[in-house]
Amino acid sequence: MQWSWSESVLSNKERVMEELIQGRELASQLSTAFDNRSLVNGDDGGSDEGIVNEILGSVVNTPLIMNGKESDQEFVSVQIQGNSSGVSGSGGSGVSDGGSDGGGGADSSSWGANHDHVTAIKSEDYPEEEIKINCKSTSTFKDRRGYYKGRNTAHSWTKDTPALIDDGHAWRKYGQKNIRNAKHPRNYFRCTHKFDQACKATKHVQQVQDHPPMFRTTYYGTHTCRDYFKTSELVLDCTSPRDSSEFISFDSANCLTNKQEHLFSAPFASSSVQELIVKATSDHTVTSHDNHWPSSDYLVSHVDLMAFESSGPMSRFSSSIDQYDGDDVFSRMIAEYFDIYKSNSTGANPAQHQVEKTSRVPVNEVQRVE
DNA sequence: CAAATTTGACCGCA
DNA sequence: TGCGGTCAAATTTG
């Protein structure tokens, strides 16, 4: 391993935590705003929602700070390609397997200019995803190493990020290769559910630049697995003495078991918003000790919000939230909040509402953005 | 002990 | 023929 995947996480942690704390303060302001509005306007839910949307908007658009950059300034270059020629970036010949490549230059020539802006190039009209299954029908080989199914070239895209990001899916590393003319090896990942759910998605990750670090992730195929909402877990426990920074955790069993994938940048974009909403809700309404929300109910992986597999990647998480049905979820949650809050202020038992409010948005509703 | 990672071997394609 | 992608045994990790 030539780079430390965890280092980039650690370097970001403080900033992320700061942002989360800031988010909580905003939630606090949200609550205060409700209080004040309620006193002034009585039961004017409509205008309250306006305030909520206003504040929420600011929350959603709060830049996620990663790697010393705000997320909306993060240069994420995305290319969707119909063939692999552009993906590998460097042609030519050279380094043999396992050998040290003293090579030159991390492919900077092909993409290095993609700084400080976002590009999304989507190729069109590829043929159907063609998976050549070169089964040796007459063969009884047990060892099928190198078994070549045909390069999964359709529906591939690359994403360059200054930090390794969690894309919300569970990946298992299955190989690493030194790539000719590349300073760093390329890591090969397949979906963890390749076998149990026949998910064909794979990705390659390679560090393509040192200073500043730049990682190129190339995705192949689409996820057919159903692990979206287990990818991260929102842990809520208002009674917990733990620091607020622990409100959000990521389920290592479901998503980030790959230690090299313990790189959470993007998920906070959505999770922080969710935490704000939940926190605001719990401040007013939760009296039950069992206020752990089922994480999968409201949790929308940012990847899903981005409709990553179906519509191609979005460059800004905030905009992706705005763009997709995720905001519908938020609206419903806010609406529910209002119901609860109003009931609470009129003497209703909030705990009951808390239970009732689990009339959740069906996961699939959120998920289907295709 | 199961799951994940490492790593050398194998294979298809250009 | 060599590069890149994948496999799978061995090893590590939790």
DSSP A198-235: ----EEEEEEEETTTTEEEEEEES---SS-GGGSSEE-
| Chain A 207-266, CB < 7 Å to strand B | 257-261
Strand B: list positions under 7 Å from protein Cβ.
3-13
On whether both A240 and A209 belong to a single domain, the answer is no
Domain count, chain A: 2
Q: For A125-152, write each residue's pLDDT tens digit.
A: 333 333 333 333 333 344 556 555 555 4
pLDDT digits (tens, 9 = 90+) for A288-311: 333 333 333 333 333 333 333 333
Q: Which nucleotide is nearest to A185 (CA to C1')?
A: C4
Considering the domain architecture, whether residues A296 and A200 belong to the same structural domain is answered as no
* Protein residue closest to C13, using CA and C1': A259
Q: Is residue A277 part of a domain?
A: yes
**Among chain A residues 1 through 20, which have CB within 7 angstroms of nucleic chain B?**
1
The reply to whether A142 falls in a domain is no
Note whether A341 and A273 are same-domain residues.
yes
Nucleotide nearest to A151 (CA to C1'): C5
Provide, in whole angstroms, the distance separating residue A248's CA from nucleotide B8's C1': 40
Q: Are residues A244 and A339 in the same domain?
A: yes
Is A216 found in the same domain as A87?
yes
Judge if A61 and A43 occupy the same domain.
yes
Residues A26 and A13 in one domain: yes
* Domain end residue (candidates: A220, A251, A269): A220
Indicate the pairing of strand A171-177 with strand A186-191. antiparallel
Q: Which amino acid is at A55?
A: I
**Confidence label for A189 from pLDDT (cuts 50, 70 and 90):** very high
- Residues A273, A332 share a domain: yes
Domain residue limits at A153: 72-126+147-220
Tell me whether residue A303 is in a domain: yes
Q: Which of A160-174, A205-219, A268-282 has the lowest mean pLDDT?
A: A268-282
Whether the CB of A332 is less than 7 Å away from nucleic strand B comes out as no
Same domain, A254 and A277: yes
φ, ψ (nearest 5 deg) of residue A236? -120, 130
> Are A301 and A229 contacting, i.e. CB atoms less than 8 angstroms apart?
yes
What is the average pLDDT score of chain A? 47
Q: CA–C1' span, A146 to B13, in Å? A: 12
d(CA A146, CA A132): 14
The residue among A167, A188, A220 that closes a domain is: A220
Banded pLDDT at A174 (limits 50, 70, 90): very high
Looking at the fold, whether A242 and A332 belong to one and the same domain comes out as yes
The C-alpha atoms of residue A225 and residue A191 are separated, in whole angstroms, by 8
Please report, rounded to whole angstroms, the spatial distance between the CA atom of protein residue A144 and the C1' atom of nucleotide C5.
13
Q: Which residue is nearest to nucleotide B13 (CA to C1')?
A: A150
Using the CB atom, is residue A195 less than 7 Å from strand C? no
Question: Is residue A137 one of the residues assigned to a domain?
Answer: no
- Residue whose CA is minimally distant from B12 C1': A148
User: Which residue has its C-alpha nearest to nucleotide B8's C1'?
Assistant: A98
Is A346 a domain residue?
yes
Answer yes or no: do A79 and A66 share one domain.
Answer: no
Residue A281 and residue A243 share a domain? yes
Task: Write the CATH number for A165.
Answer: 2.20.25.80
Domain boundary among A220, A249, A274: A220
Query: Is residue A139, in this structure, part of any structural domain at all?
Result: no
Q: Is residue A136 part of a domain?
A: no
Does some domain include residue A132? no
